[in-house]
A = this chain, B = another copy of it.
């Protein structure tokens, strides 16, 4: 189920550096910056602690290197989206599903990036906005604005708010996956795409100018 994560393949990197990166992304994602020790990273990577300092200047530098990798992944994924030729409504559904899939596939990277973005810390947030989510969100907003001008979306809605609802709902579902397990009545919990479909349905039929009747049974 788990796809390639940061550091699992790294052309031009020695075996040790690759091992360090993939071990570090796992540990940082699970325990956060302060919860991880360089000794722990070294042990998990099967290298000496000194070796890490041979490849990275400091703990901070190692963390930033991983953060940059995560950022590059996300940016690349979003670049592949929004370039589709299908209908507006269909593109939004596809985007949501793809984004949801991305979050779960790159579980560790996503967790790491979200922790940084939603920490509430001003500097950390600014860095994430500048280096990662800024362009993505702006792109989504412009897409939604275009949808408004085309008459597909309600004209009285704030496209920025809609963009944040789209991202936020997916992100929250991803963050709350452990919580959801404790609610047996949530049948959609196990099925990622199932949630995404239902979510977009709710959001779209609220955003669409003309509610689509008869589309569902």
Is A178 in the interface zone, CB < 8 Å from B?
yes
CA distance A146 to B124 in the complex (A): 43
- Could you show 20 A-B contacts with beta carbons less than 8 Å apart? A30-B120, A32-B32, A117-B179, A133-B179, A138-B183, A156-B216, A160-B183, A160-B186, A161-B199, A164-B180, A165-B169, A165-B202, A172-B172, A201-B206, A202-B203, A202-B206, A203-B203, A203-B206, A206-B206, A211-B211
Is A2 in the interface zone, CB < 8 Å from B?
no
CB pair B187 A158 closer than 8 Å: yes
Instruction: For the complex, count residues of A whose C-beta is within 8 A of B.
Output: 63
Contact with B along A109-140 (1 / 0, CB 8 A): 00100000111111001101110011001100
CB pair B177 A161 closer than 8 Å: no
Contacts of A156 in B (CB 8 A): 216-217
Interface of A: prevailing SS: helix
Is A188 in the interface zone, CB < 8 Å from B?
yes
User: A residues within 8 Å of B by Cβ?
Assistant: 30-35, 111, 117-122, 125-126, 128-130, 133-134, 137-138, 141, 156-158, 160-162, 164-165, 167-169, 171-173, 175-183, 185-188, 195, 198-199, 201-207, 211, 216-217
Contacts of A158 in B (CB 8 A): 186-188, 198
Contacts of A162 in B (CB 8 A): 202
Q: How far is the CB of A150 from chain B (nearest CB, A)?
A: 18
Contacts of A160 in B (CB 8 A): 183, 185-188
Contacts of A179 in B (CB 8 A): 117-118, 125, 128-129, 133
Checking B117, B130, B172 against A168 with a beta-carbon cut-off of 8 angstroms, the contacting residue is: B172
Q: A167's closest neighbor in chain B, by CB?
A: B172
